[in-house]
Amino acid sequence: MLEQEICGHNIQIAIECRDRSRPGTIEWLDGLIGKFKDLPVNKVIAVSSSGFTNGMVEKASANGIELRSFEKALDSDWQAEFIQLGVGSLDIETTIVSFELELDPPVLDIDDDPQFLYVKSTGEPIEISKLVAELQDTHCEELKPRFSEYYKTKDDFGKVCITERNTGLRGLMFKDIDETEHAVVSIRSICHTVVRATEAIGERFRFNDALISRFGLAFRDGEKRAFTLVQFKHDSKGEMKSPSNKSPKA
Q: What share of the chain has pLDDT > 70, as a percent? A: 83
What is the average pLDDT across 145-167? 84
Give 204-224 pLDDT, tens digit per residue.
777 776 777 787 877 777 788
Q: Residue 246 above 50 pLDDT?
A: no
pLDDT at 189 > cutoff 90: yes
- Best CA proximity match to 20, nearest among 59, 47, 60: 47
Tens digit of each residue's pLDDT (9 = 90 or more) over 89-107: 788 899 999 988 899 998 8
For the chain, what are the domain ranges? Answer: 1-83, 99-197, 200-250
Tell me the H-state helices in 91-183: 128-143, 147-150
Q: How confident is the model at residue 183, as a pLDDT? A: 93
**Among the residues of 176-216, which ranges form H helices?**
none
pLDDT at 129 over 60: yes
In the chain, the DSSP E strands lie at 2-6, 9-18, 43-48, 65-69, 88-104, 116-119, 125-127, 160-168, 172-175, 181-199, 201-207, 210-218, 224-232
Spelled out in words, what is the top-level CATH class assigned to the domain 1-83?
alpha beta
β partners of residue 46:
16, 67
